[in-house]
Structures are given as C-alpha cells and as structure tokens.
Structure 1
Amino acid sequence: VGTVPEPCPQAPLAVLSKVELRVSCKHLLDRDTLNKSDPCVLLLMQTQGQWMEVDRSEVIKSNLNPVFAKIFTVDYYFEEVQKLRFEVYDSHGHAGVGTHDDDFLGGMECTVGQIVAQKRVTKPLFLKYGKFAGKSTITIISEEISGNNGYVELAFRAKKLDDKDLFSKSDPFLEIYRIDDDCSEQLVYRTEVVKNNLSPVWEPFKVSLNSLCSCEEKRKLRGVVWDYDSRGKHDFIGEFFTTFEEMQKAMGENKVQWDCMNPKYKIKKRNYKNSGVVVLLDLKIHRVYSFLDYIMGGCQIHFTVAIDFTASNGDPRNSCSLHYINPYQPNEYLKALVAVGEICQDYDSDKKFSALGFGARIPPKYEVSHDFAINFNPDNDECEGIQGVVESYQSCLPKIQLYGPTNVAPIISKVARVAADEERTKEASQYFILLILTDGVVTDMADTREAIVRASYLPMSIIIVGVGNADFTDMQILDGDDGVLRSPKGEPVLRDIVQFVPFREFKNASPTALAKCVLAEVPKQVVEYYSYKAF
C-alpha cells in the first residue's frame, strides 16, 4: 500500500462530483418605468483568463425578488480554483438578454469551492467599477449530486381549478417545492403557464432525485398552483402536500391525485371541498449508473492493440530504432503496451488481446497492410494476455519490412465492425478499447476523423500513445479536449472517445502514471455510451 501514485503530467483532472446551483435575488434595481424589471441570470466561468457564458436562467417577469427555477449544473474539481461569475440583466422580450449597461442589474464573483464549502452564499451585487447595486443581493445554494443518483420524469395536469379572472379563465402554472430538514422550502420546478384553462395539462419535465427529494422517498413535498399575472402578482389557487413515495403509485397505468386546497377558503366556507384537483398522470424513473455498476453488471472490456510498423521507426536491427529489441531493456512500444495493457487485463475475463500491426509489408507477398494480425493468423488475431502480445510482437519483427504510410483509419474501422456486430446482439455487454501506438502523425487524417465519428456511436474508446520524439501537435486535434472533433463533412462526434498522450512525458514516471493518465477518461466514456443507448 505504501507506494504513492505519481502525478500525471497531462491527466484530465478527476471530476470529484457534479454540483447543482440554485439562484435567487432580493431587492433588484428597478430599470423599467411602467412595471418592474424582468430579471435573468447568466452564469459565466473563467477559462484561461477569459469569462465564457456557460448557461442562463429563464426570464422572470416583473419581479425584483426572483427565485429562478433554472438549476445550473457544474463539474466540481477538487484540485482547481474554478471562478464563477453571476450576472443579472433586465430582459426585454424577444430581443433576449441585452448586455447593455442600462440593462445590467449587477454581478457577483466567487469560486465553486466557496459555494460548495458554505452550501449557501449570499453576496451583494455590484455594478460596473465596483459600485453597489443598491441593496441588491444574490443567493446561491449548492448541492452535490451524490453518486448513484437518478432522475424522474413527471407529467401533471389539473381539473376544475378555481377561476381567478373576471373576464377569462385562470392562467395556471404549478410549482413543486422540497421541504428541507430546517423547514425551509427549495423550489424544485416551475411549469410553463397554460393560458385561459381551468383543466390544464402541463408539459412533462425531468428533475434529479437529489433535487426532488434529496433521494429520500419520505421527504415532504409541496405543490402550489398559481394563476399567472403578467405584473408578477400571481394569485394563489391552492396547494397540496405529498412525498416521492406516494408519487410512485403513478407508475404504469395508475394515476395519483390530490385535492388542491386553499386554507383560507377552508376556514371561511362551510361546504368548501377544494379549489380543484391536481393529477400526476405519469412517473418514470431513470437510474444513472457508474462505470463500476457496468463492470459489476457483467460488462467485459475487450482490448485491441495496434502497433505502428512504418519505416520512420528506424531499422529494428539498429539500436537507434524505436523497434530495437534490447535483451536488457524493453523499448518504448513495449513499455507503453505493458503499462496500459496490465490495467485493462483486469477487466477482460478471457485475458485474450487482439494484436494488430499497420504500415508494413508482410509475407508471403510483401504487400503493404494497414491491419494485419501480428501473430499472422488472420482467423484469430488474439494473443494470450499481455505476455502473448509481447511474444508475437518480438517474433513478427524479423519477418516484416517496415514501410508506410501511417494510416490508422483501417484499424479503427476494423475494431468498429466488431463493436457494431456486438451492439447488434442487443446485449452490448462488451466494450472495446483500441490502443494505437504510433511514432508519427497520421497520414490519412480525413479518413481517421470520419472513422472516429462513426466509432463514437459504438461501444468503443480509442487511446493513442505517441512514441518517440516527433512533433505530435496535429494528433491533439483527434483528442476532442480543445473543441469537438468533426468529420471532414462537419459532423460532430456523438461522444469524445479519443485520448492522445505523448509517451515522452512519462519516460521517467512509473508505468502506473502512464496507465492512470491514459485510462482516466475511459470510465466516463463507458458510462456515456450506455446512457446514450438507454434513450
């Protein structure tokens, strides 16, 4: 246990958790002459010194003390200072949120860490040049989303609501609140307004179980029905109380309904029954699973290694060659292969690895091949464990002629065909990892991008390790970290499945550091694939 893992030079930081942020404001400045401001909040995040808009809330009409229904979700990294900025604007109808100074109601800066540590942060809003925006304050409430959190889809309607309008029918909307241990209420969701209708059917909506009931089925929830008023003075129609446990009776064909009660009427009117009925038409639960859930549920990782045998590696008989077989010291190809393969081996039940080569002339005709089995058995390219791959590699080197060019699209497509066949079995219990070891920049970049976009729909991930001292700048494009990778026709990848790492950054690190860095994104990619398949 005593070994300390070495830090990974280029490792993507481990996402510690996701955090949900809820925003409310008090005493906002009134920018409108005839009625009150229509506030909207923008969330900005600082990346490399630049503020970038991440998301924005809905607009709340005519309200200086808004509680926004929008929940902002941010990734929380423990080891990084993540700066956030909240900006409140007065919105003007269809023109959207203007960013003119006269529409700016104030801003506030803080870090994700501060909000997570304090759980609730209230700060004054500032205008430009550090001036206070009157007495305006902004409150951010944070909640970490726990590991095995799912979300629910709810569909509500109401019947025979009280009519609050003189010349037309009520314009009802529904709010759902969670009642916390300190008896405070957290807004979970606010539906859209259905105009002029006493029996509205609201659009179905999704909320996380964490947000709805803190993952506690017996926690009390409050539903409130309002009659919408464009000046912000909504009329109270009625309320009801329930729990997530009770809501679950609405699964399948069943419906659950509650009397929508106005406590004042109950006291005043002798024959008062209710102010209408709220019905939960449907409830669907979607569980969110982790990488370990899939592995424990029987998902097998199938590992394929592809080795670059192009001439730029140098003659294997020469000690300067990247493919030189030194009896005392494994070359870089072998080091990278063993470091990554040993971890993948643990998740692969049959411990058999497919081993392919590309860019060489192979016997018997010595024609160039970009996807040959290094054991020269075209019917079965699998080797027994990592050791089997090492042995096949060493025995194939003297038999082949290093050539070129560096084309990797054929190998990506070959593994993708196997993954697609696996997907068709509907089980999709196998997930494919392709490790490509190469000494240079890919020659068939357009075909490779196309192949990666196709593969992003399949149960596979691609890891590319750059061996040697070439300039690998162009290879970083394939790793979608700097933006979304697109095919030559402009089609984006469905999910980011490529991780590129130059081996030279790990030359002096332990093998576990390389493996940790290279495999860091795989669990997330596995989860993303199965989540995409579920819908």
Structure 2
Amino acid sequence: MQQIYNPDERINIELFLAARELPNLEFLSKSDPYLELYYSLQGEPEICLGKTETAECNLDPNWEKSFTIEYYPDLIQILRFQIFDQNRMGREFMGEAQITIKDILQSKNSLISIPIKRFDKSAGQLLCKAVQMKQSNHFVQWQFSGSNIKNMDGIFGKSDPFLKFYLHSDNVWCQIYQTEYIKDDLNPTWKEFEISLQRLCLNDEYKKFKIECLDRHEKGKNNQLIGSFETSIDEIFNQNKEEFSLVQPKGGQVGTIRIKNKKRIYRANFDDYIKQGTTFNLIIGIDYSTHNGVPSFPDSLHSYIDQNNKYGKVISDLAQVLEKYNQKKLFAIYGIGAEPHLTNYTLNTYQTLFPLTGDFQKPQVEGYQEVANLYKNTLKQIVVKGDFQIEDYIKYIQTIAENNAGKLIYTICVIIGQGKITDAQVFQDLLIKGCKLPYSLIFVGMGKNDFSEVKNIIDKMNNQQPPIRNNFTFYEYKEQTIQMLSKHLMIDIPQHLVSYKQ
C-alpha cells in the first residue's frame, strides 16, 4: 500500500500571544482583556479558533492560552485578532490586528510585533510567537510535589503555590502547561499529568525546559513568582534526578520541588498502524432527498446541467482524496432516500438505502473516475423523493465495522448531503452507541442550510459525560480546493483511527 500519511510532512505551529500598552477603558481600575482568534484561507469564509482567558486588571497581558494551527506553505493563511475588555456589562472592543502565518514564521525567531488598531487609532502592540511542532509518539507522565516553599503571604496566610512549565524556543520562553494551585500549603502535591516531549522540549532530551513556582493571588491577579529552575529529560530520566532547588530571581533557595512519580510512554501514531497492516473500506452515501431540489431545475444540487451540479464535483474530489486509503481503490456507493430505477434493481419504490450499482452483492467500483461516472450515469435513473433519513445507512456501516472489530480493517464512510435530517435524534443515538467501533464518519454539507442539526450532534458527542470517542466529522462544502479537502481529511481520519486503537 502506498504511503498516504507522513507525520513529518505536516507542519503544526503553536501560537503564543501577548499584548503591550493596551488602552484602558475603565475609570477606577484597569481593563480585563481577552483575545479572540479568527482564521481564514484567502477567498474562503472565516472561522473562530477560540479565545484566551481573561487577564484581569492588566494592560500588558501574557495570555496562557495558545493555539495550534497547521501551516500550509503554499496557501495564504490569514489570522485576525480581536481584543475585548470583559466587564460587568458584557464586553467592550479594545482593538484588532491581522497578519498571515507566513509573515510570523518569516520574522526573526518567528516572533513579531503587530500594531493594534481601535477605530483606526493606535491601541498598543500584539506579540505573536510561533513554534513549529511535529507529531510526537513520546510522552511523560509525572507528578510533582513541593516542600518548604517560601511563604509570600506574611504572618496572616500561606502561599497558594502552582507550577508553570516553559518551552525554550529561539531565545523565547513559551508557557506550555500550568498545574492547579494548592490553597494555603507550603508542602503541596499537585495532580499527576501527561505531556508530550515535543511540546516540552521539541523531542530533544538534552534541551532545557523551565519550571516556575508561583503564589496565586485573588482571582489570579498579580500572581507572584516564588522561584524557578531549569532541567531536561536527560537529567530526570537518564541521570535519575528527582529533586530540584527553587531559586528566586535575585538568588537564594526558596524551597524544593520533587518528582514523586514518573514514567515514559510511547504511543503509536497513524503511520505505525499502517505499517502494521491496517487496511480500509471506503463507502460513500449520497443524499437524494427532495430538499436537494428537482434535478431538471438548474438550481438543484443534483442538476442535470453539469456546471450547476454541486454533488458531481464533491463526489469526484472526495473519491480522488480517499482512494489513497485503499490499495485497490475500491468504493462502495449508496443512495440515501429516493426512488431508484436502476438496471438489475427490482425495488422501484422509495428506498432509504440502495446501491448505485443496482447490486447489493457488488456495490463497489474502482477508482475516483468510476465513482464520478457512476453518479453521473445513474442520475436520470433516480427519482428524487422523500426526506433525508440516515438510520439505515448508519446501521449498515456499523454492522460492517462491528464485523471487522478485532481485525486490521477500518471503515471510512462519507455522507454527502444537505442538512435537513428527518431522524436526527436516532442518528445521534446510533453515533453515541457505536462510538467505539472501527470506523470514521465524514458528513459533507451541501447547499445553504445552517446545518444546525449536524452541529448539535457533534456538540452532544463532545460533551458526553464520561467523555466518549468522537469519530464524526462535519465539513460544510464551500467550493474548497481539492488540496484543502485533502488536508482536512488527512488530519481527521488519522485522529479517528488512533483514538480507536488506543
């Protein structure tokens, strides 16, 4: 089987953010700024990647929240930053800035200062530091404790200590992890946690990382540095050092930090599973419900006019990307919700699931071009009819996946459809029930629907308690290039497979 994915070819950057000299929008105190990050490819819709925590009473914040983004050297990736003051009435706009990822990476040490504008007036500077992160198989799991930590709160209290961990990159210390704080305790023990060696030291066992111990003040305002030290994975695991002196900025010991438990962990990645012999089933389901429009009309998503037919392009592009996952390039193609009049197919009434080949025993065709031809050649043999019901398709997929559980066979299935799902609750229940099965489900949204039902299902899966594996991905089709579609799938499918294996 050809190589379809190489972690070393992907360039992930982690973006660390700070601001200086922000405008103060408060009268009796200082503003409480937070940042929202928006991302877009040139010519495509903008999406929000999330927001930082609020830095209370701080016009020069160093936000702890960082953002991980995959960098594509051949594409223009635009980042827009908006900063707001969080107050009792809601929020107030403090300013914004914009830059491309390439501009950040081409700056000295991948660190750049960008002017912030508020209604066309200067509003400080935004500092962006980018660190390139490769996928890591190596992790450490450990637990830290402290003893005789210096009391920073005087005779009427005790320090509330917590730890911060920093990666050293291009002469810049970047915060990568923070423990919980322990209330009124000079001999604290923090919770065990896990971190990758890539994030900690860029996979270099001899590279120093820094640990700071701080005293937390009310609401996290003006936290006070107690002391710090630097060490390395080599020192901790190869030289077996487990005790470190906390040294304050002006010198002098202010306590001791110990490592109570430690172990190294290796986790296989997607490429490892491919080398072990994992193979893939490829299945595509196409929505023919009436919500797509009548094919004889030019505005139908299934229009008989080739240049107006949105499904035809998406099916061809998807199959062209996915065929790399199957050595024989075989696809099983099914229609969802229509009245088929196919050759050798005797059921000419409304069907919730039917093979486009007309034969349930031979539903496959070879190669993306044959997938595209099968869709095009059968379009006039299918009467668009009824609602979009997914239950039978999902049950069929899950039956295949269940039969392959324990084998080196993984199923990749796609739904291409508009988002008006008649049986959304049943769909959701089936996804949750089958979340541990060896398959990925990719929903490609067509048309101008808001796709709220699909997005709600993803939210429900992500918020299950206890947490469950989410093997369901949604893309809203926006005339994307095949290169972008490939990038998306090469991220999500490996994550789904690894989450199943682990």
Q: Does 1:524 align with 2:502?
A: no
Could you list the runs of 5+ residues in structure 1 that have no partner in the other structure?
1-14, 267-271, 315-320, 323-331, 466-471, 507-512
- Mapping of 1:65-464 within 5 angstroms? 65-76=60-71, 78=73, 79-87=75-83, 89=85, 95=88, 98-100=90-92, 104=94, 107-118=96-107, 119-131=110-122, 133=123, 136-148=124-136, 154-164=142-152, 165-180=154-169, 182=171, 184-204=172-192, 209-229=197-217, 236-247=225-236, 256-262=242-248, 275-282=255-262, 285=265, 289=269, 292-304=271-283, 344=322, 347-349=325-327, 353-354=331-332, 359-360=339-340, 369-372=351-354, 380-381=361-362, 385=366, 405=386, 409=390, 412-422=393-403, 425-427=405-407, 429-434=409-414, 445-447=421-423, 450-451=426-427, 454-455=430-431, 457=435, 459-462=439-442
Rounded to whole Å, the distance in 2 between the matches of 1:385 and 1:124 is 54
User: What are the superposed Cα offsets for residues 395-436 of structure 1, whole Å, 9 maximum, x if unpaired?
Assistant: x99xx997955766355234323344146x245641233577
Sort the Cα spacing of 1:308 and 1:296 in 2 relative to 1 into closer, same or farther, 3 A: same
| 3-state SS of paired residue (1:179) | strand
Rounded to whole Å, the distance in 1 between the matches of 2:329 and 2:385 is 31
**Residue of structure 1 in register with 2:4 after alignment:** none
- Residue 462 of structure 1: how far off its partner (Å): 4.8
Sort the Cα spacing of 1:68 and 1:343 in 2 relative to 1 into closer, same or farther, 3 A: closer
Sort the Cα spacing of 1:219 and 1:420 in 2 relative to 1 into closer, same or farther, 3 A: same
Rounded to whole Å, the distance in 1 between the matches of 2:456 and 2:410 is 26
Rounded to whole Å, the distance in 1 between the matches of 2:312 and 2:96 is 54
- Residue 120 of structure 1: how far off its partner (Å): 0.9
| 3-state SS of paired residue (1:416) | helix
| 3-state SS of paired residue (1:163) | coil
Rounded to whole Å, the distance in 1 between the matches of 2:222 and 2:132 is 33
- Residue 141 of structure 1: how far off its partner (Å): 1.0
Q: Is the 8 A contact 1:374 1:381 kept in 2?
A: no
Q: Is the 8 A contact 1:19 1:75 kept in 2?
A: yes
| 3-state SS of paired residue (2:402) | helix
Could you list the runs of 5+ residues in structure 2 that have no partner in the other structure?
1-8, 297-302, 305-309, 463-469
User: What are the superposed Cα offsets for residues 288-307 of structure 1, whole Å, 9 maximum, x if unpaired?
Assistant: 845x5554443322123568
**Residue of structure 2 in register with 1:327 after alignment:** none
Q: Which amino acid aligns with 1:257?
A: E
Q: Which amino acid aligns with 2:51?
A: D
Q: Is the 8 A contact 1:20 1:72 kept in 2?
A: yes
- Residue 177 of structure 1: how far off its partner (Å): 2.6
Q: Is the 8 A contact 1:453 1:491 kept in 2?
A: no
Rounded to whole Å, the distance in 1 between the matches of 2:476 and 2:261 is 48
Sort the Cα spacing of 1:427 and 1:199 in 2 relative to 1 into closer, same or farther, 3 A: farther
Sort the Cα spacing of 1:74 and 1:449 in 2 relative to 1 into closer, same or farther, 3 A: farther
Rounded to whole Å, the distance in 1 between the matches of 2:30 and 2:113 is 21
Rounded to whole Å, the distance in 2 between the matches of 1:342 and 1:31 is 53
Name which one, 1 or 2, has greater alpha-carbon Rg: 1
Rounded to whole Å, the distance in 1 between the matches of 2:485 and 2:168 is 44
Sort the Cα spacing of 1:37 and 1:412 in 2 relative to 1 into closer, same or farther, 3 A: same
Q: Which amino acid aligns with 1:55?
A: K
Rounded to whole Å, the distance in 2 between the matches of 1:46 and 1:346 is 28
- Residue 98 of structure 1: how far off its partner (Å): 4.7
Q: Which amino acid aligns with 1:22?
A: F
TM-score normalized by the length of structure 1:
0.64
| 3-state SS of paired residue (1:67) | coil
Rounded to whole Å, the distance in 1 between the matches of 2:118 and 2:169 is 33
- Residue 121 of structure 1: how far off its partner (Å): 1.2
TM-score normalized by the length of structure 2:
0.67
User: What are the superposed Cα offsets for residues 151-198 of structure 1, whole Å, 9 maximum, x if unpaired?
Assistant: 65654221232334322222222222333454x433333434322101
Q: Is the 8 A contact 1:359 1:407 kept in 2?
A: no
Q: Is the 8 A contact 1:461 1:522 kept in 2?
A: no
| 3-state SS of paired residue (2:163) | strand
| 3-state SS of paired residue (1:217) | coil
Q: Is the 8 A contact 1:43 1:56 kept in 2?
A: yes
Rounded to whole Å, the distance in 2 between the matches of 1:196 and 1:309 is 64
Over the aligned positions, Cα root-mean-square deviation in angstroms equals: 5.3
Q: Is the 8 A contact 1:409 1:447 kept in 2?
A: yes
**Residue of structure 2 in register with 1:510 after alignment:** none
Match of 1:55 among 31, 36, 51: 51
| 3-state SS of paired residue (2:64) | strand
Rounded to whole Å, the distance in 2 between the matches of 1:24 and 1:159 is 32
Aligned residue pair count? 455
| 3-state SS of paired residue (1:200) | coil
Rounded to whole Å, the distance in 2 between the matches of 1:241 and 1:120 is 23
| 3-state SS of paired residue (2:255) | coil
Q: Is the 8 A contact 2:179 2:191 kept in 1?
A: yes
- Residue 108 of structure 1: how far off its partner (Å): 3.8
Sort the Cα spacing of 1:454 and 1:228 in 2 relative to 1 into closer, same or farther, 3 A: same
| 3-state SS of paired residue (2:132) | strand
Rounded to whole Å, the distance in 1 between the matches of 2:326 and 2:159 is 61
Rounded to whole Å, the distance in 2 between the matches of 1:148 and 1:222 is 20
- Residue 354 of structure 1: how far off its partner (Å): 4.1
Sort the Cα spacing of 1:452 and 1:257 in 2 relative to 1 into closer, same or farther, 3 A: same
- Mapping of 1:475-514 within 5 angstroms? 484-486=454-456, 491=460, 494=470, 497=473
**Residue of structure 2 in register with 1:37 after alignment:** 30
Paired-residue identity, %: 18
Sort the Cα spacing of 1:305 and 1:46 in 2 relative to 1 into closer, same or farther, 3 A: closer
Rounded to whole Å, the distance in 1 between the matches of 2:313 and 2:78 is 36
Q: Which amino acid aligns with 1:138?
A: L
Q: Which amino acid aligns with 1:69?
A: E
Sort the Cα spacing of 1:449 and 1:196 in 2 relative to 1 into closer, same or farther, 3 A: closer
Rounded to whole Å, the distance in 2 between the matches of 1:186 and 1:381 is 56
Rounded to whole Å, the distance in 2 between the matches of 1:222 and 1:522 is 36
Rounded to whole Å, the distance in 1 between the matches of 2:34 and 2:48 is 14
Rounded to whole Å, the distance in 2 between the matches of 1:293 and 1:137 is 44
Sort the Cα spacing of 1:477 and 1:248 in 2 relative to 1 into closer, same or farther, 3 A: farther
